[in-house]
A and B are shown apart, each in its own frame.
Chain A
Amino acid sequence: MFPFAYEWIWDIGHIIFFGLFYGILSVIFGTLTLTILKTMLDLWAGHIHEPEH
């Protein structure tokens, strides 16, 4: 549910629930995106991680 949905109410329950939910999703997918970007930069710079086997 997003704040523009008709069911949304600006009360403490919605703010806490969805604030934490979207907050943690942002952390997870933000970190994942940064890791993908760093990998792309590493590859472009030629910093390839060789497997240990």
Chain B
Amino acid sequence: MRRWFDDLPKYADDSSWWPKGTKRCRPEIFLIWLGLPLTLLAYFSVGAVLCLALGLNQTNMNDYFAFGVWIVVDLAVIGLGAGAFFTSFLNYVVGKTELKPIVNAAVLIGFICYVGAILMLGIDIGQPIRGWFGFWHANVHSMLTEVMFCITTYAIVLTIELLPSVLDNRRISRVPEFGTFSHNLHTIMIVFAAAGTFLSFFHQGSLGGMFGVLYARPFAARGGLGIWPWTFFLFIMSAIAVGPSFTTMVVMITEKISGRKLTKHSVKMLMGKISGWLLVVYMVFKSADTLWWAYVKLPAAGLTFDNMYHAPYGFWLLWVEIGLCGWLPALMLVQEKIRASYGWMFLAMLLACIGITLNRFVFTIQSLALPVLPFEKFYSYLPSWQEWGIASLVLGFGLLVFMLAYRYLPIFPQEPELND
């Protein structure tokens, strides 16, 4: 057995595929690491087979909770994955080239978030082979139609944006056709970045807008501007604020696990600064929206603020979302001293990411938990193990793609010079 391991590099040396000037772990160690995402994907497969074969009775969703953990995870990862479009927009369209060292990572993370969410929704819709019905029998009055159009189209854009990184692989780029195609794609990337920005703006907004137009759900319903409720704009603002934080956080985690520096700290600080100031703007509008909802909107509907919070979804959720994971990381990230510290910046970014996840959770679950008819009661929801299995697809798929991309693709152009 030992001899087999000793002999292995002769047969399984993949170092010629690694990005130039980088070092990666031995193939057998990498294969052991791959066990983690493959285990998660196996867990997903069990849940998916049960849900597809036996139906949604495998879940804890019911007539009250038409949306469950899948939609929470879907909304959260789509919000967190917004770093892809916003970083691309700043880099290619605005010309903020300081972000170039992290834009590949942002696109990769966005690709993982969007494709993972789409795959998970394939199970949620019950019959994935009829997924195309949404395009053919489109309900043009539904916010979700816009979301579906934009998310699927943006996943195509992200695939195209990721393509040059794949073609720039050390071995693949030696093929003249691929190398030249990759070079030409790089030169025209501004068009895809602009298209991605347009698509992201609308689907991030429409995901929020969908909640704002739920007039029978006082927790979520809001007024707005024209056909767009305030939640339309709040979801866009929160996504562009937290997306850069999530991208940076993933890079920082990768640095700690791999023991290698991947981007200069100044790049991370810039991402933190962008995230921090956008988070401040978002928190101003979010706080104003919450106060208007509590003191104007709810009383006008004959309700009170207290009616909206019941254990386990008590007021603590509001304080955690807006205070601990909203204002606190916003105020931390706008300070240069905090951003200069690796640990403090990571903590602030982590809090911001938890905040946006909580925001998507309360809009999805708490909105449905509150009774809206006299004979209804307050219900809480806990996902079944099958639901968690399907939700784990995003993590398993994400880890698998990210690990393969980190090992073989030039995602971090500054890595060679930072690790000389």
Q: In the bound complex, do residue A13 and residue B179 qualify as a contact, i.e. CB atoms below 8 Å apart?
A: no
| B135 at the binding interface (Cβ < 8 Å) | yes
Q: In the bound complex, do residue A28 and residue B184 qualify as a contact, i.e. CB atoms below 8 Å apart?
A: no
Q: What A residues does B180 contact at CB under 8 A?
A: 39, 42-43, 47-49
Provide the bound-state CA to CA distance between A7 and B145, in Å.
15
Q: In the bound complex, do residue B160 and residue A43 qualify as a contact, i.e. CB atoms below 8 Å apart?
A: no
B335, chain A: closest CB distance, angstroms: 38
Mark each residue of chain A from 29 to 53: 1 if its CB lies under 8 Å from any CB of chain B, else 0.
0011011101100110001111111
Provide the bound-state CA to CA distance between A25 and B156, in Å.
10
Q: What B residues does A24 contact at CB under 8 A?
A: 153, 195, 198-199
Chain B binding site: helix, strand, loop or mixed by DSSP? helix
Given the interface contacts A27-B195, A31-B192, does A39 sit within 8 Å of B177 by beta carbon? yes
Q: For residues 5 through 31 of chain A, which have their beta carbon under 8 Å from a beta carbon of chain B?
A: 5, 7, 13-14, 16-18, 21, 24-25, 27-28, 31
Q: What A residues does B198 contact at CB under 8 A?
A: 24
Given the interface contacts A35-B185, A35-B188, A49-B180, does A17 sit within 8 Å of B140 by beta carbon? yes
Residue of A nearest to B136 (CB): A1
Q: What B residues does A28 contact at CB under 8 A?
A: 153, 156-157, 160, 192, 195
| B406 at the binding interface (Cβ < 8 Å) | no
Q: In the bound complex, do residue B153 and residue A43 qualify as a contact, i.e. CB atoms below 8 Å apart?
A: no
Given the interface contacts A1-B137, A13-B141, A28-B153, does A48 sit within 8 Å of B195 by beta carbon? no
Residue of A nearest to B182 (CB): A49
Question: Could you list 13 examples of A-B contacts with CB < 8 Å?
Answer: A1-B137, A5-B136, A21-B149, A21-B153, A24-B153, A27-B191, A27-B195, A35-B184, A35-B185, A39-B180, A43-B177, A53-B20, A53-B173
Given the interface contacts A21-B149, A28-B153, does A51 sit within 8 Å of B195 by beta carbon? no
Q: In the bound complex, do residue B138 and residue A31 qualify as a contact, i.e. CB atoms below 8 Å apart?
A: no
A interface list, Cβ under 8 A from B: 1, 5, 7, 13-14, 16-18, 21, 24-25, 27-28, 31-32, 34-36, 38-39, 42-43, 47-53
Interface residues on B, range: 20 to 34
Q: In the bound complex, do residue A35 and residue B146 qualify as a contact, i.e. CB atoms below 8 Å apart?
A: no
Count of A-B contacts judged by CB separation below 8 Å? 73
Mark each residue of chain B from 156 to 185: 1 if its CB lies under 8 Å from any CB of chain A, else 0.
110010000000101001101101111111
B interface list, Cβ under 8 A from A: 19-20, 135-138, 140-141, 145-146, 149, 153, 156-157, 160, 168, 170, 173-174, 176-177, 179-185, 188, 191-192, 195, 198-199
Q: In the bound complex, do residue A17 and residue B136 qualify as a contact, i.e. CB atoms below 8 Å apart?
A: no
Q: In the bound complex, do residue B177 and residue A13 qualify as a contact, i.e. CB atoms below 8 Å apart?
A: no
Q: What A residues does B192 contact at CB under 8 A?
A: 28, 31
- Excluding A28-B195, A53-B173, 11 further A-B contacts by CB distance (< 8 Å) are A1-B135, A1-B137, A17-B146, A18-B140, A27-B191, A28-B153, A28-B192, A43-B180, A48-B179, A48-B180, A49-B184
Q: Which of B137, B185, B188 contacts A7 (CB 8 A)?
A: B137
Q: What A residues does B135 contact at CB under 8 A?
A: 1
Q: What B residues does A16 contact at CB under 8 A?
A: 140
B406, chain A: closest CB distance, angstroms: 17
A44, chain B: closest CB distance, angstroms: 11
Q: What B residues does A50 contact at CB under 8 A?
A: 179
Q: What B residues does A14 contact at CB under 8 A?
A: 140
Q: In the bound complex, do residue B183 and residue A49 qualify as a contact, i.e. CB atoms below 8 Å apart?
A: yes
A-B interface, 6 closest residue pairs, ranked by CB to CB distance from nearest: A53-B20, A13-B140, A49-B183, A51-B173, A39-B181, A49-B180
